[in-house]
Amino acid sequence: MKRFLKNASIYILLMILIAAVIFSLNYFYGEKISQDLETDIRQSAAENDYQIRFIEIDTNPLLKTMNVINLNLTKADQFNLIVNQAEINFSWQQIINYFRNGSFQFDKNFKSQIMQINYSNLQDNYQLNFSEAELNYQGDFELQELNDPEAFLAENHSLDFKTEELKYDFPYYRSYGLNSENWNRLSTFNNFNLKADYTKENKNLIIDQFNLKGELLTIIFDLESELEYLDDKDEKIVFLDPKNSFDFLLLGEELEFEENSFFEDLSFKQLDFNGNLDLVLEDQYYSANQADFDLNLSDFKLLLSEELSLQLNQNTFGILAQDKQFELAVDSFSYEQQYNKPNGTSSADLKSSIVDGSLMAEINYSEEIPYLSNAKLRYKPKTQTAEQLNSFLQLILGRSFERDDEDYFVVEVWGSINDLNYE
């Protein structure tokens, strides 16, 4: 029995010593890998004109994890990026390569859990805050390509990014009549998802998931396009032939706008906008091969500020906003367009406190200036002020528009947009 206890004690002691050696080596190489990574990241950032304000990395080779505790990356006068608690898994092969070569190479395919990402755009004055994010990347991205878009397009990339919460911050929201409570509801999104794939052989980018959903605002779209690097003074990547579909929905029924320099009162129930676009880049400008979309607005009410009402009164020769107040109520407005190069059709319907109307139009875009093949406008003024404005317009145009059986004025229009004919 004593011999057994003696052998057991020796065995336990040996296991403790082995564990101590393993954990000591793990701590030693973890510290060394962390220091080497920090040095490599600082060097790559400096070579590409980025600044590292602070960086702290903790590596655990035994658990095959690296934790970016804090990272602050800045591009002068362009952006500021802060990453907190980003855990990245790596492989045994990377550890073996480090033992052999003395340098740690990032795996080109990796998955990371990130507690927080803060991105500040220093040019356009906005900030994106991501919380509880997951990043899954597969491809051939290298740190040296941070400032080389041409090298970026020469490799394959696949990205799947998810976050439990995305907060969009814009410092001037109060100038648009929103208080902090309403702005938070409008600019906070849950379960944001972005999935994108780029193939170097055909330089094709596909975004098949961009889902941005919040309490009041929803934006969903997909995109497919060929990319090209322009080796000019801007050195930028451009979309040659983007094709995309989109859905935009804004629920305004629970939004409360405050008086500001633009309006005294504003409210609406819902605005939705969706469609499909097929564009092509020609001479640095985009033209449409296809452009189909629908827009709907309901229960819209607007009371302009006194200053803008005064400007409107002056621009309408004293007809509108005669009492330095302009108020408009729109029960419903809808617009639909179907366009396949070079021809398109559009229709609109408006029911408001000032005028009711509808439009049917056929448009040709084969020339530089759009041409109306045929357009019919029907409208009915509903106030004395609207009647005055209608009479003034007929006087200016030198036309007398007739009314139909439903008491609507009917106007037929054709010709180039800059030289229209009326009947």
Are residues 252 and 267 in contact, defined by beta-carbon separation less than 8 angstroms? yes
Q: What percent of the chain has pLDDT over 90?
A: 40
Look at residue 95 and tell me whether its pLDDT is greater than 70.
no
Q: Output the 3-class SS for 172-229.
A: CHHHHCCCHHHHHHHHEEEEEEEEEEEECCCCEEEEEEEEEEECCEEEEEEEEEEEEE
| CA proximity to 184, closest of 169, 174, 164 | 169
pLDDT of residue 304 exceeding 90: yes
Asked, for residue 316, whether it belongs to a domain, the answer is yes
Residue 187, CA distances (Å) to 168, 179, 217, 254 in order: 5, 12, 8, 14
The structural domain count of the chain equals 1
- At residue 4, the pLDDT reads 42
Q: Which has the minimum average pLDDT: 75-84, 227-236, 333-342?
A: 227-236
Q: Is residue 121 part of a domain?
A: no
Residue 65 predicted with pLDDT over 70: yes
Helices and strands in the chain, H and E counts: 6, 21
Determine the Cα–Cα distance for residues 273 and 286; give it in Å rounded to an integer.
Answer: 21
Q: Are strands 110-121 and 243-251 parallel, antiparallel or unpaired?
A: unpaired
Choose from 43-52, 95-104, 346-355 the range with maximum mean pLDDT: 346-355
For the segment 319-345, the average pLDDT, to the nearest whole number, is 91
Domain annotation covers residue 119: no
Q: Is the pLDDT of residue 319 over 70?
A: yes
Residue 253 lies in a domain: no
Rounded to the nearest 10 degrees, what angle do helices 92-101 and 2-47 cross at?
80
pLDDT over threshold 50, residue 139: yes
H or E element at residue 399: none
Q: Is position 292 within any domain?
A: yes
Q: Please check whether residue 422 lies inside any domain of the structure.
A: yes
Q: What is the pLDDT of residue 6?
A: 46
Q: Is the pLDDT of residue 1 over 80?
A: no
Indicate whether 24 pLDDT > 80.
Answer: no
Q: What is the pLDDT of residue 30?
A: 66
208 lies in some domain: no
User: What integer best gives the mean pLDDT of the chain?
Assistant: 84
Judged against a pLDDT cut of 50, whether residue 164 lies above it is answered with yes
104 SS3 class: coil
pTM summary value: 0.84
- Type of residue numbered 77: D
> What does the DSSP 8-state code read for residue 116?
E
pLDDT for 250 equals 94
245: pLDDT confidence band, cut at 50, 70 and 90? Answer: very high
Domain housing 343: 259-423
Helix (H) or strand (E) holding 89: strand 79-89
